Amino acid sequence: MLELAIGIIVGCCALGAGIAMVAGIGPGIGEGNAVAKACEAIGRQPESKGAVTSTMLMGCAVAETTGLYALVIAILLIFVAPNLLVDVLMGAIAA
């Protein structure tokens, strides 16, 4: 029974991590849009390449943030949450 409980905890943590990374879609679309527009801008005005590129990198980095929040949560779910929850379970059994 205990093995089943621990198995459910670990499996659900892994599933949660996978579902959390669905948030990677958002930054993908956003950064793609940003780069497409930057390419258009450079095509129209090649002399402003430097300014456009640095602004684009800046915007990409800001757009990436939501994806990175998801990454941090996924990593917490994989590496931190199982140990924590198994400890809680053991404590509940001992009590």
Partner 1 sequence: MDKINTIKFKLIDALLLICALLPLISIIILQILTEPASSGINLTGARIFFTVKMPLQDMYITEAQINSWAVILTIFFLCLYFTHGLSEKAYTKRQIAMEWVIEKTEALVTGNMGTAFSGFAPFIAAIIGISAFSSLISLLGLFPPTSDLNITAGWAILVFILITYYKFKCGPLGYVKSFGDPVPMLAPLNVISEVATPVSMAFRHYGNILSGVVISVLLGTGLQGLSSIVLGWLPGILGEIPFLQIGIPAVLSVYFDVFSGCLQAYIFAMLTMMYVSSAFNVDEFERRKLKKQQKKIK
User: Which residues here bind partner 1, judged by CB under 8 A?
Assistant: 57-58, 61, 64-65, 68-69, 71-72, 75, 79
Which one, 71 or 89, has the nearer CB to partner 1?
71
| Opening angle at CA 29, ends 24 and 32, nearest 5 | 120
| Amino acid of residue 73 | I
Main-chain phi, psi angles of 55, to 5 degrees: -65, -40
Which one, 7 or 69, has the nearer CB to partner 1?
69
DSSP state of 22: G
What is the closest distance, in whole angstroms, from the C-beta atom of residue 91 to partner 1 in the complex? 21
Which one, 8 or 57, has the nearer CB to partner 1?
57
